Amino acid sequence: MLGACVLTLGLVPASDARAHSARPQTSSTSRTSTSPTASSAPAPICEVTASVKRCFAWRRRDPWSSGASIYTNDFVVGASQPGVRAYAAWINSATTDLALYPGYEGPGPTPLPRGPEEVPPTARGRLLATFNAGFYEADAKAGFYVNHTLYFPMIRGLATVVRYANGRVDVVSWQGGARPGANVVMARQNLSLLVSNARASALSANNAAWGLTLHGVAAVWRTALGVDAKGNLIYVAAPDQTSASLAHLLVSLHVVRAMELDINPEWPIFVTYGAPGAVGATLFVPNPNQIAGRFLYPSTKDFFAVYASRRPGETQPW
């Protein structure tokens, strides 16, 4: 928990201030509109205590792109977790395409073709970011669908990041059938919603329901992906987090729905690229178990890639 600390993240204009796993019960999702709209850079994250206010500015990570699509911020979590630093990335859904790629072992054992298992070389000219996905689907008993291929059937009620045929992305509680309809081009599930209706889910208090941790420690590295009220994505990674503290952190970032992604020290990774062609790859989340070029060659597990969008609803590079 953040104790007396309040973190605020708005979507009003702000300058770039250089300035695996137990399966929880299902939960419902709100009907908050998340259609992508042109969004300005997020406002600074401010930590407020009884006597001190400190603000942490977001930094644009794609200066070579015309979209101003990727901003990152790292900040001290709060008074109740001294020295713990969280890492957040804001992704403008109106100017980006979200893609999903299987790895050579994840989403899990399947005889189906896995595609490139890396960022396709032909698509690297507009690559903005890459980041980790969730648990192996075979372990999580969850669905995985991309490139017209159903790797694992979708499970009703589970948290799902979805990309629709019109280019819109969302994080929802899945209410469809075992196979996505024609309006869905990508769907990846992991557990149930950690945040719903802009509040921590009731199940978030049950730490045992959110994955097996290294050595059974309650607070470990955890990652999550959420959506704000304007339909922009927010990725979060932080050490020393329980499911409850991660949910609280996401709520403080004004996420309306969110799902936990991978956990434990080995897996958190968020990479940005300083120039077209995947040049200048940089680990935003500091993890000695990962390298910046991780997704530029075949990956063990599935992962997400973010591209500069050329037109709404364009086909995912494959």
Instruction: Measure the CA–CA gap between 92 and 21, rounded to whole angstroms.
Output: 30
Residue 16 lies in a domain: yes
* Structural domain contains residue 85: yes
55, 112 Cβ separation under 8 angstroms: no
Burial label, 22 (beta-carbon count in 10 A; 0-12, 13-18, 19+): middle
Identify whether 41 is part of a domain: yes
Both tokens assigned to 37: 């709209």
Question: Is 316 within a domain?
Answer: no
How many structural domains comprise the chain?
Answer: 1
Rounded CA gap, 292 and 235, in Å? 17
How many Cα atoms within 13 Å fall on the side-chain side of residue 104? 7
Q: HEC profile for the chain?
A: CCCCCEEECCCCCCCCCCCCCCCCCCCCCCCCCCCCCCCCCCCCEEEECCCCEEEECCEECCCCCCCCCEEEEEEEEECCEEEEEEEEEEECCCCEEEEEECCCCCCCCCCCCCCCCCCCHHHHHHEEEEEECCCCHHHHCCCEEECCEEEECCCCCCEEEEEECCCCEEEEECCCCCCCCCCEEEEEECCCEEEECCEECHHHHCHHHHCCCHHHCCCEEEEEEEEECCCCEEEEEEEEECHHHHHHHHHHCCEEEEEEEEECCCCCCEEEEEECCCEEEEECCCCCCCCCCHHHCCCCCCEEEEEECCCCCCCCCC
Gap between the Cα atoms of 1 and 77, Å rounded? 9
Q: Is residue 318 part of a domain?
A: no
pLDDT for 18 equals 29
Q: What is the pLDDT of residue 20?
A: 40
Task: Tell me the pairing of strands 193-196 and 184-189.
Answer: unpaired
Please state, in angstroms and rounded to a whole number, the distance separating the CA atoms of residues 194 and 200.
Answer: 6
With respect to residue 132, please indicate whether it lies within any of the assigned structural domains.
Answer: yes
> Considering just the CA atoms, what is the radius of gyration of the chain in Å?
18
Q: Which residues lie below 8 Å from residue 93, measured CB to CB, with a gap of 6+?
A: 36, 39, 168, 169, 227, 230, 231, 232, 233
Residue 212 covered by a domain = yes
> Tens-digit pLDDT profile for the chain (318 aa)?
333 334 443 322 233 332 343 333 333 333 333 444 445 678 888 877 767 788 888 999 999 999 899 999 999 887 666 789 999 999 999 999 999 999 999 999 999 999 999 999 999 999 999 999 999 998 889 999 999 999 999 999 999 999 999 999 999 999 999 999 999 999 999 999 999 999 999 999 999 999 999 999 999 999 999 999 999 999 999 999 999 999 999 999 999 999 999 999 999 999 999 999 999 999 999 999 999 999 999 999 999 999 999 998 999 999
Distance CA 21, CA 61 (A): 33
pLDDT of residue 227: 98
> Residue 123: which domain range?
6-308
Whether residue 315 is contained in a domain is answered as no
